[in-house]
């Protein structure tokens, strides 16, 4: 069964332009009106949404897209929403990202760019699902304590007070630290490993107070060791 993506845009020709680039991999749902988009989202529960900021081009002050963004994320915070915007609306696109949008793409749309962003969005949504499943299936208490969350920038609750939200954060932080470790603290490589943008990864690094320098220091020590042993890494 294909993963579902909802594309919301007043301009049907834009929907027709994007569809061929995505329909081989995903089940495509489309909407051109606010109420239609809201109804499809409630009924079909798509994992990813592409959302035009304005669904009424005749009204320069239209904020339909931002309104839908907030409603979608309130209903299902794990949804990854990609904002589609005209270049002159970049400030509004940045506001959408601040409100929780995953990323944004400016018109005229490049199909290779939208394919990449959508692929990253699905990967992150799937990662979020795995985090939730892991937390529900495994012993959340043991996972959280094993990850030493106080070292990642947020205080650990007492054993009796651990909660689902905390455990999910601990597991997410662990994914990030492991990716950075595998890639010697090189953010661009770690972001590619996780299937997210560098901007998103930097935001997560800042959120969890992860020190990139520690991974770079390990890399430096390894290089020195290789040099001192004549090119042999033990």
Q: What is the pLDDT along the chain (234 residues), one digit of tens a residue?
A: 889 999 999 989 989 999 999 999 999 999 999 999 999 999 999 999 999 988 877 776 777 889 999 999 999 988 999 998 875 666 777 788 888 888 888 888 889 889 888 988 888 888 777 766 665 555 554 444 444 433 333 333 333 343 445 555 666 777 788 788 888 888 888 888 777 888 888 888 888 888 887 776 545 444 554 455 554 443
Torsion-angle region of 134 (φ positive above 0: left; ψ -120 to 50: alpha; else: beta): alpha
* 193 contact partners, CB below 8 Å, separation of at least 6: 179, 182, 183
Please report the pLDDT score of residue 15 as a whole number.
92
For the chain, give every domain's residue range: 3-124, 138-224
Nearest Cα neighbor of 168 from 206, 210, 132 is 132
Residues 93 and 133: their CA atoms lie apart, in Å, by 32
Neighbours of 134 (CB within 10 A): 14
- The CATH-assigned architecture of domain 3-124 is 3-Layer(aba) Sandwich (3.40)
Please report the pLDDT score of residue 234 as a whole number.
39
Coil, strand or helix at 168: helix
Q: Which residues does residue 107 pair with via DSSP β-bridges, in sequence order? A: 86
Positive or negative, the CA dihedral 11, 16, 17, 21 is: positive
Per the CB < 8 A criterion, the answer to whether 149 and 125 are in contact is no
Please report the pLDDT score of residue 137 as a whole number.
57
Please report the pLDDT score of residue 87 as a whole number.
59
Structure tokens at 27: 């089940």
Please report the pLDDT score of residue 38 as a whole number.
95
Please report the pLDDT score of residue 32 as a whole number.
93
Please report the pLDDT score of residue 144 as a whole number.
43
Please report the pLDDT score of residue 232 as a whole number.
44
Per the CB < 8 A criterion, the answer to whether 134 and 171 are in contact is yes
């Amino acid at each position: 069964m294909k993963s579902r993506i909802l594309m919301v845009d007043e301009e049907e020709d834009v929907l027709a332009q994007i569809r061929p680039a995505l329909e081989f991999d995903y089940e495509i749902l489309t909407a051109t009106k606010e109420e239609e988009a809201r109804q499809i989202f409630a009924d079909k529960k798509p994992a990813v949404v592409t959302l035009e900021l304005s669904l009424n081009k005749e009204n320069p002050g239209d904020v339909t897209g931002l309104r839908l963004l907030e409603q979608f994320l309130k209903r299902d915070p794990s949804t990854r929403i990609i904002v589609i915007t005209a270049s002159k609306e970049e400030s509004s696109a940045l506001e959408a990202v601040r409100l929780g949008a995953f990323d944004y793409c400016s018109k005229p749309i490049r199909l290779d760019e939208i394919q990449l962003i959508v692929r990253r969005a699905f990967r992150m949504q799937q990662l979020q699902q795995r985090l939730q499943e892991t937390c529900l299936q495994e012993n959340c208490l043991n996972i959280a304590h094993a990850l030493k969350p106080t070292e990642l920038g947020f205080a650990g609750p007492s054993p009796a007070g651990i909660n689902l939200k905390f455990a999910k954060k601990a597991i997410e932080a662990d994914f990030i630290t492991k990716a950075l470790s595998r890639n010697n603290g090189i953010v661009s490589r770690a972001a590619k490993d996780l299937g997210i943008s560098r901007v998103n990864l930097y935001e997560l690094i800042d959120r969890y107070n992860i020190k990139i320098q520690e991974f770079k220091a390990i890399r430096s020590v390894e290089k020195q060791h290789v040099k001192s042993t004549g090119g042999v890494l033990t």
